[in-house]
Amino acid sequence: MTKLISIVLAIIIATSFSVFVVNAEGNSNEVTINEAGNYDIDNTCTRLIVDGVKAKVTLNDANMTSADSVSAVVVKNKANVTFVLVGTSNISGNAENPSCGIEVEYESSVTFEGKGTLNVTGGKYGAAIGSYGTATNIPENERVNVGEITINSGTINAFAGARGAGIGAGYHVNGNKITINGGTVHAYGKECGAGIGCGYGTSGGAIGVAAVGEYESGSIIINGGEVYASANYVDNIENFDYSNLESLNTQDPCSFAAGIGGGYGASATDIQINGGKVLALGSGGGAGIGAGRGTSKAKNYNADAYKVNVKIGGNAEVTAISANSRSSEINSGGAAIGSGRGTHTGGNIEITDNAKVTAISATQAPAIGASKQKSPVDSAIPVAESIVIGDNVQLYAVSAGSYAVDKDAKNFSVSPQFFGSSDRFYFGEEAKAVSDVQEVKVESPNGEMKYTAPAGTVSVWSRIKAATDPDTGVKKASLGIVTPLAMAVRFEDGSVYYSGDTVEIEIGKEYKFQMCCVDWSTRDLKGEKKIHKPYEVFTPEHGIYSDDGVGLKGSVVYRVKVSSDYKERSYNEETKSFVLPRGDAVLRTDVNKCFMAYRFSFKSGDYNKQTGIDKVVYDTGKEHTNTIEDFQYNKPLEYLSVNLPLGSTIKAIAYNNYEKIGEADIFVKIDEENPDRCYTDYKWNY
């Protein structure tokens, strides 16, 4: 009976090019195409394999879901398939097993066209369309690439599986070539995979056969269509509100990947956007368009392999955004276009022709260029290799915590129309656009300048004029706050700000502030109790300071003023006064002049002994039972390293098995013999 069915199938395929496969048990199930031709697939097919042939396959309201560790659709053995979309098709991988919705094996290729809709979801470690991978790092000579993917038309909604890209590569898999010529594309990464590009590469904490930067996104070319790509799912992404930081960070998925480009720990070797409308959202230290978040560990980083190359031109309309991390500032800081946090370069970026670009970055990174965290290679502040911005570009570059464009790039070529490279824009302030005029006067870092704009262009480089209070006419600036770990800044009016916060202040007015050490308690920033997971015990960023006895305030009074001058910057040691330029108003207190790190240990080296600090890390008097609940009451630590405000006197308490054995009042100061030393060792005489 089985032999007869096979003969009949061969006749059907050869004559009508329409496939309906019945297996030996008589159940509608799997279709295998191994001869060239045109084929129709509808909802009677539950799995499709195209093996080694060139075929045109019409997906007509198809509905396929992987039931095992094999993808729902597999294109393999150098097959070349054009999928024609009719109606609405739904294809899904298996969330429990490594798989894709549509798997494209290396040296095979797929093209999508038609007027229909394809909803496709990846399985575990897999892209929705592309490849799936493995949780194990792969030696370089054994790494698998994905095949080539082309989208000409249709509507494609691609949802990655865990650690995969929406469209492209899976976990520990290199990207290949993705070309989008038209259609409407929504692509969402998941758990550290890019929207379009590659999945999770290698994390900063990974030690294995592949270093950060070695996995890469491959070639991504967008010539047309509407493309919406995000490092994680964002509802109603077409109307994503990037007009203020609160909205931007509320929707941040914090998955460490680029919207278009590299996943966590992966490079972006070749991204070209030549046309179409593109919106790309990176997250948690990943770029909007570019590379994923890198690492802080030099031994896990390959600087030679790490690349970023982005070209935007033609008549492309591009919006690139890198969101802050909701969980921790340490996971923020990717450029909108360029590199992710924890890298050594911003790469090579060209924006030319008649491209219209909006680039918005969160804290610690320019909108265009290199993330400004210390390089894991040599601890230097990274700069881009090359930034080129052409004459007719319509540019809106915005950074909430750095320069709009990385003006320190090794090769910096920018049209004279874009002045003000040291100025910064803060959300909520007025930005002035220049549009359809031949000559206007605009305030810039060099004073009032005449600006001649090509007809039909709108060019805004960062914040062009300061915000003015409509009631008083007073000019204001947004002061960015940077503090050491587990510390805060308290202004004279009692307001307290933490690292990453901004505060509106009057330009030219002097403000007094003091440094605070926060309470390592279970309170969150609203003062509400927070129940920790076991691995979150003693996480310093959960601490707060308040005048009612939570945390510790220093006695030294500092002063800060934002100058009306764009270049003035100074610090007076005698008066403890900071003067900041209007174009770069960031109060950095993570310097020795504002705090000292104390490291407590015991002379005997006995790890049964602990240290607590009153109002910071201390014993509440609760009887200790050595459980997780105990840790929520600030159990003192065997080895304690804590940042403390200069000029304060702290009460430190020594314990033996959590029984108090002594205490000391310690005045926090800089070591006069070693003024550049960034910490002080304190040994209990026990």
Structure tokens given for 647: 């000029």
Cα–Cα distance for residue pair 278/229, rounded to 1 Å: 8
405 and 539 share one domain:
no
164 and 253 share one domain:
yes
Select from 370, 394, 416 the last residue of a domain: 416
Cα–Cα distance for residue pair 60/44, rounded to 1 Å: 10
Q: Is residue 520 part of a domain?
A: yes
Dihedral (CA of 372, 361, 305, 125) sign: positive
340 and 199 share one domain:
yes
The CA angle 600-603-604, to the nearest 5 degrees, is 120
Task: Name the strands in the sheet holding 184-188, side by side, starting at the edge strand that comes first in the sequence.
Answer: 63-65, 88-92, 117-121, 155-159, 184-188, 226-230, 277-282, 317-322, 356-361, 394-399, 460-461
Select from 388, 416, 444 the last residue of a domain: 416
Q: Could you give the number of structural domains in the chain?
A: 3
What are the beta bridge partners of residue 157?
119, 186
Q: Is residue 74 part of a domain?
A: no
Q: Is residue 490 part of a domain?
A: yes
- Amino acid identity, position 109: S
Select from 549, 582, 615 the last residue of a domain: 582
316 and 242 share one domain:
yes
542 and 649 share one domain:
no
408 and 483 share one domain:
no
In this prediction, residue 76 carries a pLDDT of: 97
Give the rounded distance of the alpha carbon of 197 from its chain centre.
14
- Going by DSSP bridges, is the β-strand pair 167-168/129-130 parallel, antiparallel, or unpaired? parallel
Dihedral (CA of 627, 628, 631, 633) sign: negative
Q: Is residue 211 part of a domain?
A: yes
What are the beta bridge partners of residue 159?
121, 188
Structure tokens given for 599: 């490291």
Cα–Cα distance for residue pair 16/222, rounded to 1 Å: 36
Q: Is residue 427 part of a domain?
A: no
Cα–Cα distance for residue pair 618/537, rounded to 1 Å: 14
Cα–Cα distance for residue pair 244/553, rounded to 1 Å: 32
248 and 351 share one domain:
yes
Cα–Cα distance for residue pair 544/616, rounded to 1 Å: 10
572 and 616 share one domain:
no
662 and 538 share one domain:
no
Go through the chain and tell me how many residues it has: 686
Q: Is residue 89 part of a domain?
A: no
In this prediction, residue 486 carries a pLDDT of: 83
- pLDDT means over runs of 10, the chain (686 residues): 35 40 47 96 95 97 90 97 98 96 97 98 97 87 88 98 97 96 96 96 73 93 96 84 52 78 96 96 92 88 93 94 64 85 92 86 78 86 89 71 72 60 29 35 42 35 46 74 88 89 88 90 48 39 72 93 81 94 79 90 82 78 51 69 91 87 92 82 90
571 and 604 share one domain:
no
Domain limits for position 672: 595-684
In this prediction, residue 622 carries a pLDDT of: 54
Q: Is residue 166 part of a domain?
A: yes
190 and 252 share one domain:
yes
Structure tokens given for 188: 């969402």
Q: Is residue 436 part of a domain?
A: no
List the CATH number of the domain containing 620: 2.60.40
**Residue 543 CB contacts under 8 Å (≥ 6 apart), including other chains:** 486, 518, 519, 520, 521, 523, 551
599 and 578 share one domain:
no
| Type and span of the H or E element at 86 | strand 80-86
Query: What pTM does this model have?
Result: 0.64
Which residue from 132, 168, 164, 133 is spatially nearest to 150, judged by alpha carbons?
168
